[in-house]
Structure 1
Amino acid sequence: MCGRFLMNEEAVNATVSITGHYEEIPLDLHFGTIYPSMEALAVDEKDGRLHASVLRFGVQSESMKKRIINARAETADSKFMFRQAWRHSRCAIPANAFYEWTPSKDMITFTEPGDSVMFLAALKIEDDFVILTREADASVAPYHHRMPVILEKQQVGEWILDPHACARIVENAVPVLDAYEPPKQLSLF
């Protein structure tokens, strides 16, 4: 389950290279670790074209006290809360890394090798977004059973603009990631 991710200036540059626009990106955008309820940069659709937006991480549920931050890719198209967004409001979140925690509460940092920015498949619900997750691949499974759906840069436009490509893209979106474990604390005694 993806609950935190890193966003820096490189994510802005990657977004501009995909959308061709920088005017929509606010100058006071927060960089660093993005937590639920914080605003983050997103690529979405406006007037049939890719567009840069700022959306809030997580959807406030009326029945729950905390925000829903993830949706299972396997069932998002049929769940009441997500099916309209799956059909009409997909987006992608540029991230430099995402984090997971082991059962012993060690934070593991995941990055895409050879690329400083990855795009997380997400669903836009009004001015909020949830990150799609799938069963973990071999690079994440030793640490967590779920992982975000990661899009290749050339898939972002198709993911957002082509409703018929969604299921195929999610099925095939499994990059091998690098995992960085925190260094073990040394004992002086």
Structure 2
Amino acid sequence: MCGRFSLTTELDVLLERFQIEQTTMEGYEPRYNIAPSQQIPAVIRAGHCNRMGTLRWGLIPFWAKDASMASKLINARSETADQKASFKHALKKQRCLILSDGFYEWKQTENRKVPMRIQVRKGEPFAMAGLWEKWDDGKRTHYTCTILTTEANVLMEEIHNRMPVILTKVTEKIWLDSSVNDVAELKQCMKPFASSEMNAYEVSTIVNSPKNEKHECIIPI
């Protein structure tokens, strides 16, 4: 699964890397311990340009009667997303990039769970495959999202049996293209990212609490 991540990369680097033409994140600040239910940075394709803004992490399907499902829908299994009522609509038309430069997972040892931070290459920003939804509670409109997961690659197998779907520069474009709605083509985008292009290291247990939002969360120990 993916239940915690960071995004500390400078905004101008993100804008260039993900070819973002519009953003509502002028007040952008580094995030060291992003958790479910929070507003998180995301990119959607709006018309002919990439637009960066925030979505609330925890999907609420458009047909939901209330917001109670959100806490259970922070992740969607890529293998079955096209079959689930909560995700199949968004998979066809409402896909997004969830931006990150490292995600956390807890490795089970004999004595404890060890928090690990997993990166792509030397810590460069990357895009996780996301789905977004628009839900109206009768008073206001909520924009929410979920992160797709896949089976672990060789590196991740030592830590956890699942990992987020990390897109390549090629599959990012396919993922954002709303004219692409062939499930078979989309599933080709949701393969485990190459282990050879990832690394992992242990971090402090301060990351265990989402209340700890500081630089120390990402420091190797």
**TM-score by structure 2 length?**
0.74
Deviations 1:24-74 (A, max 9, x none): 223155622110011111111212432212111112575558342100000
Preserved CA contact (<8 Å) 1:41 1:55: yes
| 1:22 Cα deviation after fit | 4.8
Stretch of structure 1 that moved more, 29-38 or 103-112: 29-38
Q: Quick one: which of 91, 94, 97 aligns to 2:102?
A: 97
Residue type at the aligned position of 1:55: L
Distance 1:51 1:22 in 2: 5
Q: Where do 5+ consecutive residues of structure 1 fail to align?
A: 184-189
Secondary structure of 2:200 counterpart:
strand
Contact 2:103 2:118 in 1 (8 A): yes
Cα deviation per residue 1:115-165 (whole Å; 9 max; x = unaligned)?
A: 511111111122111100001010101110100000113321211103333
Q: Counterparts in 2 of 1:78-93, with a 5 A limit? A: 78-93=83-98
Aligned identity (percent) is 30
For these two proteins, the number of residue pairs brought into alignment is 182
Q: Partner amino acid for 2:7?
A: M
Match of 2:79 in 1: 74
Cα distance in 1 for partners of 2:70, 2:58 equals 12
Aligned position for 2:154: 138
TM-score (norm 1): 0.85
- Segments of 4+ in structure 1 off by > 6 A? none
CA 1:12–1:146: 2 relative to 1, 3 Å: farther
| SS in structure 2 at match of 1:124 | strand
Tell me, yes or no, if structure 1 residue 39 matches structure 2 residue 47. Answer: no
Quote the residue 1:180 is aligned against: 201
What root-mean-square deviation, in Å, do the aligned CA atoms of Structure 1 and Structure 2 show? Answer: 2.3
Q: Tell which deviates more after alignment, 60-69 or 79-88.
A: 60-69
Paired residues for 1:1-189 under 5 Å: 1-10=1-10, 13-28=13-28, 31-60=31-60, 62=66, 64=69, 66-103=71-108, 104-126=112-134, 127-161=143-177, 162-164=180-182, 165-171=185-191, 173-176=192-195, 177-182=198-203
Is the CA contact (8 Å cut-off) linking 2:37 and 2:71 kept in structure 1?
no
Which SS does the other structure have where 1:81 is aligned?
A: coil
What one-letter code is carried by the residue in structure 2 that aligns with 1:68?
Answer: L
SS in 1 for 2:81: coil
User: What one-letter code is carried by the residue in structure 2 that aligns with 1:57?
Assistant: W
Sort the Cα spacing of 1:145 and 1:13 in 2 relative to 1 into closer, same or farther, 3 A.
same
Decide whether aligned partners of structure 1 residues 18 and 115 sit closer, same or farther in structure 2, where only a CA change above 3 A counts.
Answer: same
Q: Secondary structure at the match of 1:3?
A: coil
Q: Answer yes or no: is the 8 Å Cα contact 1:59–1:130 preserved in 2.
A: yes
Q: Which runs of 5+ in 2 are unaligned?
A: 135-142, 205-221
